[in-house]
Structure 1
């Protein structure tokens, strides 16, 4: 079978679906969307914390800052319009010690620069929101919310089908070739011939780019984020979202507590190197994926830079007590007995050869091609804005 279309989108996570939605529903283009799994949102989107981020952490003026702040509002609007359960309940970023007040103030300044509604509160004021929290001061961020991103993806997929898009599940991109008139993507179910290719393959974005003849400078390195959840009898310890002040020596946010849209309370994630691109457990192993990671010079440079931190993360991964101790810094009443394992996620983190992690969304353009090469958190929050950004690039190519 051969399908002819304007655009072929590779990847059926929230970024791929949002991009296809923008192209089809809002701009009237013909689209075929390919997803290698049998369901939508099978990986990063379906394994995240369900947070609608506010946008306070990101460098002012960056794509992440601009798209997250705009995406916070567009995601809430989309949820309201389509009856998707969500809640804008705000969060606390808490300084547990006096040494963390300076970084907390820096975070407040960044929030102001990004246009995020946030204010510094005292410990007593913080406990009005979270009676069990321990802190000397906190940042109250009003626009943070929670949502079920799988439900968002299902609505996007349904609307795509209603508007005539073709959605092919269980259809990995096996080969990509280009001729004078089109770009062709081979799948197990046939060939898609399109005017433009959009790569939203997440954990495999660099590989799809190479299939398309590109040589992306960044390599996807998978980091597993492990979660616990509080037992039902301990859920009353947390009303909303409680985050630590980020450690400036570590490129992730640190474990935090999140009351989900279903009332459960998730705790995490930590960050450890995954042994497979879709490695949700320590026993999930791929020789090919691990060789891909270990053969990349940036991996070893990153390991040297964060050796001590990496050891601590692995130790926390292997010890429920250590995990609970990290949470007890924020909420002292949390104990190891309160924690039960929950599903882990894997972050598709783009890394450069010098060992630095790409800290912004990263797009690469070529003739007839748009590649989304780095879209970790807050990509779900920002997905509708990323979709518009990519669609603008596609529209330029279709002129």
Structure 2
């Protein structure tokens, strides 16, 4: 019966933006005869992180120089612009302000500016005072700011769907509603298609090589193949407030961010113009009790107990307990979050703000309680000699969407250098 299974040269697991981008580029870059399948557990692509985010095209202000994030962010951003132009997908280079509102933030702002220079962020500059800030964004208050004019906005779900369509037009195949429960590589070296993938519904396929891009479930999918559960995925829910178009269009046209505090792992709530003309405020960062927990009522006993039992999570929680309580308070009492935002835009009308959306970020965590800061891609084995034909995307949070095309090239190159042989 196994001989009748559909066979592919490359199976890509996960229909988020990185999976779709890699599938598209695989059909473009690999030999024309290469059989590529993209499998996804939902009935559409971009259903989770790729379709539930701020929609920002980042330029690389924050990332450690020479890290994968720094290397791939800007490359991916300009590839995104080129792709969107070619496919007539709308985007806006509305720019970004990182704003200091008091003297204590000026040192951190200067450090961030130097980091931006080291990363080669195009045309980035310091705005020295309130007057210079308001030439860019008249309703923004602050004493100094970094201005990145190339930072843009786009609808990443639209981009993800376009990647999928391009992949299919080039002859790729897609299997939706394929929730992976088995990922097993045969030890028999004579097998041409040694990897078996099985779904919860009983579907099965064979493949020569596999790439997994599973976001919130990347650790569990990696474990299916015999790889380590490390790093562990912690689900972080980010909740957004919003302003309707009629208010937003007269208020702001630029992304406005606070100066990040290096003691904490997230950037802080910010103002993001949307492609539909509305404005999103957020996200905050609270632990989710479900890997796909988009509200307080989405609870998974398995996910919660697994998280509590993990030593790294307990260490992380003890380190950030006060910050976590602060974020939770702002989540429950949105007026508190609005007051913080009004320090940057005093004209923000509290009466017009409403809750709009939430996303869950897949954040990798080590057993010693440290959040993994860079992208992580690994096979789970130490060498090609061990016969591995599977590569896992273990950590690809923001700027994962911005970097998606650059990440896709990086992954295909890594696979070709390590084990991919489709010539």
2:94·2:253 contact (CA, 8 Å) conserved in 1?
no
Find 2:400's aligned residue among 376, 379, 384: 379
Find 2:303's aligned residue among 289, 299, 302: 289
For 2:289, the equivalent position in structure 1 comes to 275
1:240·1:259 contact (CA, 8 Å) conserved in 2?
yes
In the alignment, the residues of structure 1 paired with residue 125 and residue 217 of structure 2 have an alpha-carbon distance, to the nearest angstrom, of: 39
Deviation at 1:138, TM superposition (A): 0.6
For 2:141, the equivalent position in structure 1 comes to 134
Alignment of 1:383-398 (within 5 A): 383-396=404-417, 397-398=419-420
In the alignment, the residues of structure 1 paired with residue 160 and residue 14 of structure 2 have an alpha-carbon distance, to the nearest angstrom, of: 12
Alignment of 1:359-378 (within 5 A): 359-365=373-379, 366=381, 367-378=388-399
Alignment of 1:1-399 (within 5 A): 2-28=5-31, 29-117=34-122, 118-121=124-127, 122-179=129-186, 180=188, 181=191, 182-187=194-199, 188=201, 190-235=203-248, 236-365=250-379, 366=381, 367-396=388-417, 397-399=419-421
Deviations 1:125-152 (A, max 9, x none): 1101111111001110011001111111
1:328·1:334 contact (CA, 8 Å) conserved in 2?
yes
Bigger drift between 43-52 and 15-24 goes to 15-24
Question: Secondary structure, in 3 states, of the residue corresponding to 2:299?
Answer: coil
In the alignment, the residues of structure 1 paired with residue 364 and residue 62 of structure 2 have an alpha-carbon distance, to the nearest angstrom, of: 18
Runs of 4+ residues over 6 Å off in structure 1:
none
Deviations 1:172-217 (A, max 9, x none): 1111111122111012252121111111000000000001111132
Question: Secondary structure, in 3 states, of the residue corresponding to 1:220?
Answer: strand
In the alignment, the residues of structure 1 paired with residue 120 and residue 245 of structure 2 have an alpha-carbon distance, to the nearest angstrom, of: 36
1:96·1:137 contact (CA, 8 Å) conserved in 2?
yes
1:196·1:394 contact (CA, 8 Å) conserved in 2?
no
Question: Secondary structure, in 3 states, of the residue corresponding to 2:402?
Answer: helix
Question: Secondary structure, in 3 states, of the residue corresponding to 1:280?
Answer: coil
1:205·1:373 contact (CA, 8 Å) conserved in 2?
yes
1:95·1:136 contact (CA, 8 Å) conserved in 2?
yes
In the alignment, the residues of structure 2 paired with residue 280 and residue 233 of structure 1 have an alpha-carbon distance, to the nearest angstrom, of: 27
- Across the aligned residues of Structure 1 and Structure 2, the Cα RMSD in angstroms comes to 1.1
Deviation at 1:242, TM superposition (A): 0.5
In the alignment, the residues of structure 1 paired with residue 173 and residue 116 of structure 2 have an alpha-carbon distance, to the nearest angstrom, of: 40
1:2·1:190 contact (CA, 8 Å) conserved in 2?
no
Report the number of matched residues: 399
2:232·2:365 contact (CA, 8 Å) conserved in 1?
yes
Bigger drift between 330-339 and 76-85 goes to 330-339
Deviation at 1:335, TM superposition (A): 4.0
Deviations 1:302-326 (A, max 9, x none): 1111111001000000001111012
Decide which structure has the larger Cα Rg and report it: 2
For 2:385, the equivalent position in structure 1 comes to none
In the alignment, the residues of structure 2 paired with residue 368 and residue 326 of structure 1 have an alpha-carbon distance, to the nearest angstrom, of: 49
Deviations 1:85-115 (A, max 9, x none): 1111211110010111111111110000000
Deviation at 1:255, TM superposition (A): 0.2
Question: Secondary structure, in 3 states, of the residue corresponding to 1:176?
Answer: strand
TM-score by structure 1 length?
0.98
Question: Secondary structure, in 3 states, of the residue corresponding to 2:361?
Answer: strand
